[in-house]
Amino acid sequence: MDKKKIQEAIKRFKNEDYPSIVVTVDLLTTGIDVEEIENLVFMRRIRSRILFEQMLGRATRLCPEIGKTHFEIYDAVGVYNTLEPVSTMKPVVANPATTFDDLIDGIDSLDTDRARKNQIDLIVAKMRRNKSQMSDKYRARFEQITGGLTPEKFIEKIHSMPVDKAIETVKNNRQAFEYVKRMPKEREKFISDEPDEIRSHTRGYGDATRPEDYLKEFRDFIDNNINEIAALNIVATRPKELTRQSLKDLKIILDGKHFNETMLQTAWKEMTNEDIAADIISFIRQRSIGDALISKDDRIHNAIVKTKANHPELSKIQLGWLDRIEAQLLKEVVLNRETFDSDAFKNKGGYNAVNKAFGQKLDEFIDEINGYMYSA
């Protein structure tokens, strides 16, 4: 699968309300940052401690917006039991259901300062998780019980004390822990034993439910902002001046309005039955100046083919450079001097080396290729 499509799918999973479940035959390792992940399901055996910890790390991010205090692991293949003994990532609380009373009463049974310090750390960690669910009303009552200490200051006070003093403070403030235990949770989970039933299936497109509505919203956005957003105007009227940063900024703006290449492609396919891998530039120019909608790959390849045909005198080395330029454009569609500072060219001498290969006429070739890419 194309790496860009993978990243786009990850972005959509992170930002959209649905789906709330993602399934992968690969590993959730680096590159995934979704704070809302609450459950990990292991269905594939691995032997690498590093990969194991990377997968665990995907769920360790706090997410106060959904009341997340911990995450759970469902292990169908025994990965956790196999690698947990050698893992450097240890749970702060072995069992989130362990009560404050259990933790406090358990202190007296511990016979080393290290064990007692660890027990205090467990109490502090549990308090930190619970404070994230406190409303202003319950925070005010907590401060009354602790003599004016906010939950944050109370936690900080215990955490910074010597072990013996921290134990004394914890035991003297059982009322505060008891209050937190009785505090109603703002977020409940409901579990049903009823069998699942599919009642309907729809696909959302940002704020729209139908592909034609989504595409109309996109067209309206382009029409209303063509003279307001500089990068949008550049794409529509002067694409040769487009820079990597301006294209990146434009994509961020569009993504904030739920307009991205994947959803536009999907909506176009469902409405027209044409499967065209057009990029955001093609969709913008189709609406703004009436360009034909073609895939990014075809637009780039056609531009390089026309350039080669227009210069039959090119040497084998120069043709090789054009092939390298095409490969780079498929990764990043912007072509200017800055392009030759990328890794694809930097280790070959960058702009100066390529310019020399083209007889100091690289700027002319850049202009020609851009002209073919964006000509009607």
320: Cα within 13 Å, side-chain hemisphere: 8
Q: Would you say residue 133 has pLDDT above 80?
A: no
Q: Would you say residue 276 has pLDDT above 50?
A: yes
CA–CA separation, 70 and 95 (whole Å): 10
Q: Would you say residue 107 has pLDDT above 90?
A: no
Question: Domain locations in the chain?
Answer: 3-86, 100-182, 211-294, 297-373
Contacts 24+ apart (CB under 8 A), 10-14: 10/34, 11/255, 11/260, 12/260, 12/262, 12/263
Which is higher by pLDDT, 88 or 26? 88
Q: Would you say residue 8 has pLDDT above 80?
A: no
Mean pLDDT, residues 255-265 taken together = 86
Is this prediction's pTM over 0.75?
no
In this structure, are residues 173 and 155 in contact, taking their beta carbons and an 8 Å threshold? no
On average, the pLDDT of the chain sits at 81
* Range in 186-200, 219-233, 283-297, 359-373 the model is least confident about: 186-200
Measured over the CA atoms of residue 279, residue 280, residue 281 and residue 285, the dihedral's sign is positive
Q: Identify the band that residue 312 occupies on the pLDDT scale cut at 50, 70 and 90.
A: very high
E strands in 2-102:
39-42, 72-75
- Highest average pLDDT, of 53-67, 100-114, 152-166, comes from 152-166
**What is residue 363's predicted lDDT score, i.e. its pLDDT?**
92
Which is higher by pLDDT, 43 or 254? 254
Q: Would you say residue 19 has pLDDT above 60?
A: no
**What is residue 38's predicted lDDT score, i.e. its pLDDT?**
79
- Cβ neighbours of residue 259 closer than 8 Å, sequence gap 6 or more: 206, 217, 218, 221, 280
The rounded percent of the chain whose pLDDT value lies above 70 is 83
**What is residue 89's predicted lDDT score, i.e. its pLDDT?**
60
- What are the pLDDT digits (tens) for 291-302? 888 888 999 999
- What are the pLDDT digits (tens) for 134-146? 888 888 888 888 8
* Range in 55-64, 111-120, 304-313 the model is least confident about: 55-64
**What is residue 25's predicted lDDT score, i.e. its pLDDT?**
47
For the beta carbon of residue 347, count every other beta carbon within 10 angstroms: 9
CA–CA separation, 226 and 234 (whole Å): 9
**What is residue 1's predicted lDDT score, i.e. its pLDDT?**
53
Tokens 């403030």 belong to: 173
CA 321 → CA 243, 327, 340, 354, distances in Å? 21, 10, 11, 7
* Range in 81-85, 169-173, 229-233 the model is least confident about: 81-85
Which is higher by pLDDT, 46 or 302? 302
**What is residue 326's predicted lDDT score, i.e. its pLDDT?**
92
In this structure, are residues 330 and 296 in contact, taking their beta carbons and an 8 Å threshold? yes
- What are the pLDDT digits (tens) for 179-204? 888 877 555 566 777 888 888 776 67
| CATH homologous superfamily of 3-86 | P-loop containing nucleotide triphosphate hydrolases (3.40.50.300)
Q: Would you say residue 61 has pLDDT above 80?
A: no
* Range in 21-25, 269-273, 311-315, 337-341 the model is least confident about: 21-25
